[in-house]
Structure 1
Amino acid sequence: MFEKVVLVTRKTRLSELVVRFNTKKQAKFYVERAGQDFTGFEEEDDTYRRAVDALRAQLDVGLPVQQVDRSLVPTFLFTGKELVVAVGQDGLVANVAKYVGAQPLVGVNPDPERFDGVLLPFLPAKARGAVLRVLEGKGNFRHVQLAEARLGDGQRLLAFNDLFIGARTHVSARYQLRFGGREEAQSSSGVLVSTGAGSSGWLSSVFALARALTQQTGGVPGQPWQLGWEEARLAFVVREPFVSRHSRADLVGGFVTEQDELVLESRMPQGGVIFSDGMEEDFLTFGAGATARIRPSEQRARLVVP
């Protein structure tokens, strides 16, 4: 039984600039001084605000509507009785999905001219129908596999697209990696763990680089890994591993399952982190002595689809 609709919004580029510079006039001065056209910022902001207003009218379905900014989602208390609607870019859905549990999540595209909308199957005018179908028990869903990182003290972090385990700054990450019955000390630019939903994103750039370098050096490149969104396995790759007397580069990739998890033990005295889906401000500290276990999560995102 749903008790309310939670509408998740985000700040536009213009609204973020106004927060930074206090007034729209000062924001305009900053943008134009940088040689950019301020009109684009205004148009984007206006389109988004009109979409949110139209969406709120569509969500008049007899339940209270609580509007929440994306920045508050990590600390928002979801009770399991909310129907969640996210209006923004695809990344907004990815970032919200890992916090809402099994609640249905409706992705709404406020600006099809600017956003691809892979995770945003509904326009504001169609959102009411999607919400009503869920309330009537007739909704269609896609259950997307999430990734999970869990520390020894019980802290955990979920990811819709990918997890990054490494150093906060551009220094080498040092850790002990265990996988598939083998282990080795590594020094690298960090470890990337991708879900099926994220395999066409950051992970694909790793394969694009490997393919280009292999071709340029006369080799025959392999095929990039493909995972289904619902598939209960993850792919991991080690970024730029460095071989030395104290580090190896033999365990540089593989598929993580419930039976074969990835384990990393930090060797970084400071600056070690684990973050997900590009949200660096929402992270787990991964300092020396910390052990992270990576596996497919039992929790799945429940996306509403047409």
Structure 2
Amino acid sequence: MSLAPRAVLVHRTTEYEELLARHGTHGQAAFQLAARGRSMAEVRERHERNRRALAEVSAAVPLRWRQARVERADLDRFLFGPEDVVVVVGQDGLVANAAKYLSGQPVVGIDDDPGRNPGVLVRNRPGDARRLLPSATGARTAADELTMVEAVTDDAQRLLALNEIYIGPPGHQTARYVLRAPAAPPEAQASSGVLVGTGTGATGWLRSLWHQRGSTLPLPAPSDPRLAWTVREAWPSPVTGTACVEGLLAEGDALDLVVESDRLVAFGDGIESDALELTWGRSVRVGIAETVLRLVG
């Protein structure tokens, strides 16, 4: 007998909760905010809005389903099952935070604060959950399949991301490495890092670097099976080059990097706390992930 679906509600600690944890009482937190010209009433209202959204989504879960909740900080310790329907209640970035721990489960993004969030990934309102959840299971579920990016090291460490993967120094030092891009000779480089992004990430950090460079590279769309990559602030010297600083990766392509620094890191979607450590002589390969994010609604 197959298990009933499980709705996993993903949320994050609100600013109001963080303030109470830091300052101890509502009054002390309000005093600290007022000193910075902010209103505690506004922060609490956003907290209440988030909690109302969570309650409404929870009430919309079909009665025969199981249900669980996981906070963003606990995602790396939560075991998602193949029968799960993942319901992200919050901001777009929370979808990206959850995506790296999934393996094809359908995801429903719920915007808890319409008008404040861009709503690119959290496309639905809390009231839509009652309609979307019953239709989110099954092989015929209508979903956008968003391309993801993957980094794999030579010792089999793996990192998955929805927006982008950054490889570079953990501080303000210079990253030194040898870059191997498709159809290009290897090039020793010194830079502030390499960014490899998806079409979903092309609306954020990747696009910022693209604008800064004045690039004419066609950035992919979210569901395109392509990645775009760029080198940040490549430095020319007698032993390092700048000939190979941006490009596209199609299915089967990879960007290879061999470390020539004491320590570099690779992290995805801005989560530096969950980084791969790359020491001298290690190599990492970045390309299109086999896993996609299945976004429903």
Q: TM-score range by the shorter chain?
A: over 0.9
CA 1:129–1:36 in structure 2 vs 1: closer, same or farther (change >3 Å)? same
Aligned to 1:300: 292
Cα distance, 1:259 vs structure 2? 3.0
Residue 23 of structure 2 is aligned to residue 21 of structure 1: yes
Post-superposition shift, 1:107?
Answer: 0.6
- Asked if structure 1 preserves the Cα contact closer than 8 Å seen for 2:10 and 2:69, the reply is yes
Q: Could you say which residue in structure 2 is the equivalent of 1:143?
A: 145
**Is the 8 Å Cα contact of residues 62 and 134 (structure 2) preserved in structure 1?**
no
Q: Could you report, residue by residue, the CA deviation over 1:70-104 in whole angstroms, capped at 9, with x for unpaired residues?
A: 11112211121211111000011112122111111
Q: Which amino acid aligns with 1:33?
A: A
Seen in structure 2, the aligned counterparts of structure 1 residues 190 and 27 have a Cα distance that, compared at 3 Å, is: same
- Tell me the distance in 2 between the aligned counterparts of 1:79 and 1:55: 20
Distance 1:238 1:119 in 2: 27
Aligned equivalent of 2:270: 278
CA distance in 2: counterparts of 1:151 and 1:226, whole angstroms = 26
Partner of 2:236: 243
> Residues 191-210 of structure 1 correspond to what in structure 2 (within 5 A)?
191-210=194-213
Q: Structure 1: where are the runs of 5+ without partners?
A: 212-221
Q: Residues 84-143 of structure 1, C-alpha deviation per residue, up to 9 Å, x if partnerless?
A: 111000011112122111111111111102112111121111111101112466631011
Equivalent residue in structure 1 for 2:221, among 228, 245, 262: 228
SS in 2 for 1:279: coil
Change (3 A) 1:113 1:259: closer
Amino acid in the other structure paired with 1:174: R
Q: Distance in 1 between matches of 2:189 and 2:216?
A: 25
Unaligned residue ranges in structure 2 (runs of 5+): none
Identity of aligned pairs, percent? 37
Cα offset, 1:29, TM superposition: 2.4
Q: Determine the C-alpha separation between the residues in 1 that align with 2:138 and 2:208.
A: 42
1:46 aligns with 2:48: yes
State the Cα deviation string for residues 180-224 of structure 1 (Å, max 9, x = none).
24111111111011101111211111122223xxxxxxxxxx535
Q: Is the 8 A contact 1:204 1:224 kept in 2?
A: no
The CA distance in 2 between the partners of 1:292 and 1:120, in whole Å, is 32
- Superposed CA offset, 1:202-256 (max 9, x none): 1111122223xxxxxxxxxx53522122222211000011112232111101112
User: After alignment, is 135-144 or 288-297 more displaced?
Assistant: 135-144
Which residue does the alignment assign to 2:249? 256
| RMSD value, Cα | 1.7
Q: Distance in 1 between matches of 2:26 and 2:270?
A: 28
Name the CA distance, whole Å, in 2 between partners of 1:209 and 1:136. Answer: 43
Residue in 1 that maps onto 2:192: 189
Q: Which moved more, 1:287-296 or 1:180-189?
A: 180-189
1:11 counterpart residue number: 13
Q: Select the residue among 90, 109, 112 that pairs with 1:110.
A: 112
CA distance in 1, matches of 2:176, 2:29: 41
Cα deviation digits, residues 5-42 of structure 1 (max 9, x gap): 11111111221222233333332222222232322211
Greater Cα shift, 154-163 or 181-190: 181-190
Maintained 8 Å contact 2:111/2:124:
yes
Q: Do the aligned residues in 2 keep the contact of 1:165 with 1:191 (CA within 8 Å)?
A: yes
Q: 1:189 is matched by which residue type in structure 2?
A: S
Q: 1:100 to 1:260 in 2, by over 3 A?
A: closer
Does structure 1 residue 179 correspond to structure 2 residue 181?
yes
Structure 1 residues 237 and 102 mapped into 2: Cα distance closer, same or farther (>3 Å)? same
TM-score (norm 2): 0.93
How many residue pairs get aligned? The number is 294
Bigger Cα displacement from structure 2, 152-161 vs 243-252: 243-252
Question: In 1, distance between residues paired with 2:203 and 2:296?
Answer: 21
